[in-house]
Every structure is written in structure tokens, then in C-alpha cells.
Amino acid sequence: MRENKLLSLLNQMTLDEKIAQLMQLATPFFKGAKEQGQITGPMAEMGVTDDTIQNSGSVLGASGAQEIINIQRTHMEENRLGIPLLFMSDIVHGFKTIFPVPLAIGCSWDLELTEKSAEIAAREASVSGVHVTFAPMVDLVRDPRWGRVMESTGEDPYLNSEFARAFVRGFQGEELTTDVERVAACVKHFAAYGAAEGGRDYNTVDMSERELRENYLPAYQAALEEGCEMVMTAFNTVFGIPATGNKRLMRQLLREEMEFDGVLISDWGAVKEMIPHGVAENEKEAAYKAISAGVDIEMMTTGYVNHLKELVEEKMVDESIIDEAVLRILQLKEKLGLFENPYRGANVELEPEVIMSAAHRKAARELATKSSVLLKNESILPLKKEKKVALIGPFAESGDILGPWSWLGSRDEAVTMKEGILSKTSRLTVAKGCDIESITDAQTEEALKAASDADVILLALGEDSDMSGEAGCRANIQLPSAQLQLINYLQSLNKPMVAVLFNGRPLDLHGVLDQTDAVLEAWYPGTEGGNAVADLLYGDVNPSGRLTMSFPYHVGQVPVYYNHFNTGRPQGAPDAQERYVSQYLDIPNEPLLPFGFGLSYTTFTYSDLKLSSATMTEEQTLDISITVTNDGPVAGEEVVQLYIHDHSGEVIRPVKELKDFQKISLDAGETADITFTLSENQLRYHHSDLQYKSDPGTFTVFIGRNSQDTMEQTFRLEK
Ligand code: BGC
């Protein structure tokens, strides 16, 4: 019924109107700013006409109910057919109430809270007028030099898939049309953006199709299975062709095979970037390649509006392809109920009540405590409240703890570490000690003075938020040397030192881990960061985060990830020679801290690993049980992790693969019997002919507290 109306609307549109619908422009174009001379630089050079603006389909980066209502109202008056605009923004880890960055959220292994964080982000965004968020980013990451690892949940395809589902559920809810407190999700960046060569942003990605399917596609697929409405293209190449103009990737894989029939949007400027990539001579050819690949919306470049008409007239592009793209956009508008109510959830009165509400801040604090990972603790934490504390470091009083993609978050409203600690104790002295990347004698002196009378030194260290995120790549992944120097100076005082780290990537922690008594990886914890850190340091909350990306021993190991392959000459094999094995002469093969690692204020022991049978068939399942006991002094949460290894495949198989996990909560002294059920489909993988199936043979199953510390048993899959 409605589909007919959409089709008749489409029939009334001129070709120019259709093409303009495919254009996405940033907010300034819609605010009358052009007349006011506010559109400058590259935006001014785009030469977009008023006609295009009046007929364009969507707006990038608007927020604020009043602003969005105003833009939409003017647009509805000016647009000949009354087609509402879609408002899209990057609401990645919170709108104004900022949650920890996604890499931190991954470390919570808490899917329920993750979903809740996305639901809250959606509620705040939608009351402010936003319809679509450019999230979740589900790119699998293995290279901490890449600044955008903080946007991903880590290096594991299974875990990333679970998080992708949780984010999509949280953003979209169950009924997008009627639930105006939700927003449509856009999974990105299709595909394999996380594999940029050398960890340098936008760089080439070149991998086998088998590898793509095995490790990189599952999380996008999971988001789509959860009903994710949109997909964004990646900046990188896939199979030698930029994703945005890659017909095989988009038409064959995404649309046909993965059955995606929603809106596909290019990343910012990615259509035109086909020129420097070297697959298009000019904007016209780039536009031709993108539309042929099935990209519906062109973000922030003008290939479509400048050239599609010509391409249709020259019979290079069939108008039906443009119709398809327009129809998909109209369908999304329809799904969001915009033809009935173009303002959807935008509500000026409700906005102040909903945004940054106490309940939202509470959820942000809870998730921040669950996302932090305790990396070391030599019996110094939790701190006793009567201890005199010196808080020293560039993050001691910094609100720069929201992380990249928190453009609407306010650093002034973020709880700093000092404020958090002050809520637990007043016995506190504070000094900056150094800046992020420089240190002066005066700063050192002040720090030594502040610490002289303290029982314990709390170091607040890290990377400022510009050091990660988009285009935030680093070849040296240690803490900046000024901060390592600060640690050295303070060591002369011979006092216990606890380092709290605020950063966006796994770091090489030499100079920190070996020089301090305890280390808490807080990542960018968001608006409630200082409170969450204080809750953990003082033991009001027991740390439970577990790393979802390996921390390298040295940048020279990168990429280093737990689910790697063996070689023909693995280290540690019974017949291994001394020299001719796969190893470095100067550093270990293993990362400094493995995937799944994290400490607690209590200890959990694992015993009694049992399999229900020594064999299983395709029809049967296998029960794997283990006993976990909290034999420490306090209640705590443990992430019980299940891995498998396929001993012999048609193609090589990883040394371990995460297949399941359970996050459990145990009181001091409590014991739990945990059971996992494994079925044949969890043993499948992509063969050399790309078929996805299992092979009979021997498997090891591992259960443990992280990817290295496990108990194991073997079983056979029989056909
Ligand atoms: C980023 C995307 C983002 C887009 C719109 C691009 O530069 O790569 O992740 O969604 O900008 O802001």
C-alpha cells in the first residue's frame, strides 16, 4: 500500500530531483549560512546550487531539536513534493552523555549494558532530532598503530559480531517506525577498513577473499541480521578496487549474498577519492563507478549531482538504477515515519529533561567501571580511604577523557579524575607533572613536592584524544616520553605508584607496567570517567574488564593477535630447533598482555573441565562444563572464555578461536558450575573454495580466564 505511494512519488520526481535526493550535505548548507558567507574552504568550492539543497535527501551532522525542526520546516516549505530530509550524525558512544569508547565497551564483555548504552544514545539523539546514526563501526582491528582501533570492539570476529548485534538492537529497538526514541543504525565501514596496511589510516587493504569472509565480514553480517538499516562504504581498497566503487563487493557480496536491501552511503568524500586512488580519471568516472556499485547516497562530494544526469543521457547509466537508489532512501524515510511526522522525536521541551539525565549518567558510570581493565596489581589496590594520595599527571584534572567521536559531549561536564578521587577522600594533593608530550623542571619540582608527603602516588597518564581516532595513527605506541620521564622522576621517592591510563589504543606499556605497582587501563571512559575510576581504585566496584585487543610487547610485533596461525616451525614445538623457528631474535612472539586478560580484586580458580562425550557428530551437541570458584576476599565478576582449536583443516586453522563466553558474578567463597553447549556449526570455517563447513577430526577445547591461561581437553568430530 505505502510502497505504491512511494512509487507514485518517485514517478512524480524529475531526474534532477531524484539525483539531488542522493546527495548528502553538511548542516551549514541548510542554515541559510551560504548567504551569510559562512560556507568557506572546500565546502564553498563544491559549488552546490540552491536547487540541489532544496531537493537533497539528507543532512550530515545536525543536532539540536530546534535547529533540526527549523531546517526541516523550511525544507518542507521549499521542496516541491514535500519529501522530508533525513538527519544523520555520528552518535558513536553516546550523544551528550558520553559512554566509554567502543574499544573500552568491548572490554566489558557486557552485551546488555552495551545495548543499553546504545539505547540511551539513541534516546538523546532522537529527542534532539537525529534520525540515523553512523554507527556501529564493527571493523575488526589488529594493528594498534591505527587510530581508529578505539572505534572497534577489538580483534575477535565472534565477539565483534555479538557487539554489533547489541549496538544495533540498542540503537534501533524493535519497532523503528513507532518507537521515536530510536534511530536507524548504519554499520560501517564496509569492508575491512580495520586492516589498513601499516596501521596508517585510509591505506590499502589487500587480503584474500577467504580471510575477508572468515574474520572481517561476520560482524557486518551480524549487524545486518539484526536489521541494521544502513551500510557505509570504507575508504580503503578491497580486491584492488576502492570499496566505494567496488561492484563485486557491493552488488555481489553485500546486496546479493548478504541480502542487504537498505541504503548504502559512501563515506565522507569517498566517491571523489577514487581519483587519487587511481581508478577514475575524473569526478564523472568516479560517480559512474559508485552508482554502478550500488552506492545510494554520496556523502559530501558532488559527483552525482554534477554528472549523473549526463551519464543517463549518454546511456551510460540506466535511470532505473537511480530509481532504485531513490526508492531505498524513500523507504527509509517511510520506515522512520517521516512522511507522517517529518520531525519524528525532535522535542524542544523534552530535550533538556532527557539529555544527560541522572539515569543516563548512572548507566555511563556503570559501563565505564566495567570497561576499565586492571592490568597489574601488586597488593596496592584497592586503596584505603585513609591513605594520603598524590594525584599527578596530565590527566589529573583533564576533561579530555571523552575520546574521539564525542563532538556533542562537553569536557566541562565530564567528571575528572581529581573530582572522582575527591568524592572518596579529601587527603589529596594534585600536580600536573608534565604535559602530554613535554615536561619542564618546574613541573617536575611541583610533582615531587606534591608527592613528598603522600602514602601513594596516583599517576593520571595517557594520550590526548587527538592522538587516536580518525587520522590519529602513531608509529610509536608507547606513552609519550615526557610521561615516561615523569614516572622515572617520581620513582626516586620510593613510594607505591598506581598508573591510570586514558588512551585509545593498546600501548606498548614498557616503562609503565614494569615501573609501577598497579596499572588500570581506563581508556577514554566518558562523561562519568573520574567517578568510575575512583569507584574502581577504592574498591567500591571490583574491576571486571578483559582486553579484547592484545597489548603488544613491542610495536615491531604488530600485527599481534591471539587467533593467529601456527607456522611449519612454531616456537615451543617438541622438535623445534634453536634458530630456525618462527620467532624474533630480540623480543618474544607473545604480546605483553593477551586477549581476554584482566585482573580482579578477588581470585577465581578453574577446575574439573569435563566434556559430555569424547566425540560428537553433526547432529549432536557437546556439553562442556567447568567449575569456577571465587576463592578471594570479595565478590567479583569473571569472564569465562571458551576457545577451540581445529587440529587439522583443509586450510590452516588459528591456534585458538573464541567460540563462547559467560560473564558470571560470584560472591566470596562461592562456586559455580558453568556449562557451554557446542554445536557443529561453531566448528565451521571457510575452505579454500569458500565453502563454509566443518571437517571431521580432532579439536581441542580450552576454557579459561584469558586466551593464554586455560584448561584443555580434546574431542573428535565424526561425520
Ligand atoms: C568517517 C566516518 C563518519 C563520516 C561522517 C568520515 O570521515 O570515516 O566514520 O561516519 O566521516 O562524519
Q: What is the pLDDT of residues 470-513, one digit of tens each?
A: 999 999 999 999 999 999 999 999 999 999 999 999 999 999 99
* Residue in 267, 297, 300 to alter for ligand 1 test, most ligand atoms within 8 A of Cβ: 267
- pLDDT at 2 (0 to 100): 81
Which of ligand 1's atoms lies nearest the C-alpha of 89?
Answer: 12
Ligand 1 contact, 139 CB (< 6 A):
no
* Polymer length of the chain: 719
- pLDDT at 43 (0 to 100): 66
- pLDDT at 40 (0 to 100): 65
- Whether pLDDT at 344 is above 60: yes
- CA-nearest residue, atom 5 of ligand 1: 268
Nearest Cα residue to 502 out of 596, 414, 430, 379: 414
pLDDT tens digits for range 594-645: 999 999 999 999 999 999 999 999 999 999 999 999 999 999 999 999 999 9
- CA-nearest residue, atom 11 of ligand 1: 268
Indicate if 267 belongs to the active site: yes
- 570476529: which residue's cell? 157
When mean pLDDT is compared across 57-66, 170-179, 567-576, the lowest value belongs to 567-576
- The answer to whether the predicted template modeling score (pTM) of the entire model surpasses 0.85 is yes
* Residue in 93, 132, 134, 233 to alter for ligand 1 test, most ligand atoms within 8 A of Cβ: 134
- pLDDT at 577 (0 to 100): 84
Nearest Cα residue to 402 out of 420, 421, 419, 416: 416
pLDDT tens digits for range 90-108: 999 999 999 999 999 999 9
The amino acid occupying position 550 is S
Contact call for residues 459 and 487 (beta carbons, < 8 A): yes
pLDDT tens digits for range 234-245: 999 999 999 999
pLDDT tens digits for range 369-411: 999 999 999 999 999 999 999 999 999 999 999 999 999 999 9
Pairing of strands 389-392, 373-377: unpaired
| pLDDT-derived band at 578, boundaries 50, 70, 90 | confident
Bridge partners of residue 616, in order along the sequence: 717
- Active-site residue, from 110, 156, 267, 535: 267
| pLDDT-derived band at 342, boundaries 50, 70, 90 | very high
Ligand 1 contact, 273 CB (< 6 A):
no
Q: At what angle do helices 319-335 and 283-293 cross, to 10 degrees?
A: 60
Ligand 1 contact, 148 CB (< 6 A):
no
- Whether pLDDT at 447 is above 60: yes
- pLDDT at 47 (0 to 100): 76
Joined together, the cell numbers standing for residue 681 give 556449526
- Whether pLDDT at 684 is above 90: yes
Provide the b/e sequence for 240-250 (b: ≥16 CB within 10 Å): ebbbbbbeebb
Alpha-carbon distance of 119 to 64, in angstroms, equals 18
The amino acid occupying position 484 is L
Ligand 1 centroid distance, CA of 268 (Å): 6
The amino acid occupying position 695 is D
Cα-flanking dihedrals φ and ψ of residue 680, to 5°? -60, -35
Ligand 1 centroid distance, CA of 386 (Å): 47
- Whether pLDDT at 124 is above 70: yes
More confident residue, 73 or 48: 73
Which of ligand 1's atoms lies nearest the C-alpha of 151?
Answer: 9
- pLDDT at 46 (0 to 100): 79
- pLDDT at 358 (0 to 100): 98
Ligand 1 centroid distance, CA of 61 (Å): 10
Mean pLDDT of 167-175: 98
Nearest Cα residue to 641 out of 573, 698, 572, 563: 563
Q: Is 698 helix (H, G, I), strand (E, B) or coil?
A: strand
Contact call for residues 213 and 220 (beta carbons, < 8 A): no
Could you give all domains of the chain from N- to C-terminal order, each with its CATH number? 361-537 (3.40.50.1700), 602-717 (2.60.40.10)
- pLDDT at 37 (0 to 100): 60
DSSP assigned state of 633: S
- CA-nearest residue, atom 10 of ligand 1: 134
Please confirm whether the linkage preceding 191 is cis (ω < 30° from 0). Answer: yes
Which of ligand 1's atoms lies nearest the C-alpha of 299?
Answer: 5
- Whether pLDDT at 211 is above 70: yes
Question: Cβ neighbours of residue 102 under 8 Å, at least 6 residues apart?
Answer: 92, 93, 136, 137, 150, 151, 152, 153, 163
pLDDT tens digits for range 132-166: 999 999 999 999 999 999 999 999 999 999 999 99
- pLDDT at 38 (0 to 100): 65
| pLDDT-derived band at 36, boundaries 50, 70, 90 | low
Ligand 1 centroid distance, CA of 402 (Å): 18
Ligand 1 centroid distance, CA of 162 (Å): 23
Ligand 1 contact, 188 CB (< 6 A):
yes
Ligand 1 centroid distance, CA of 267 (Å): 6
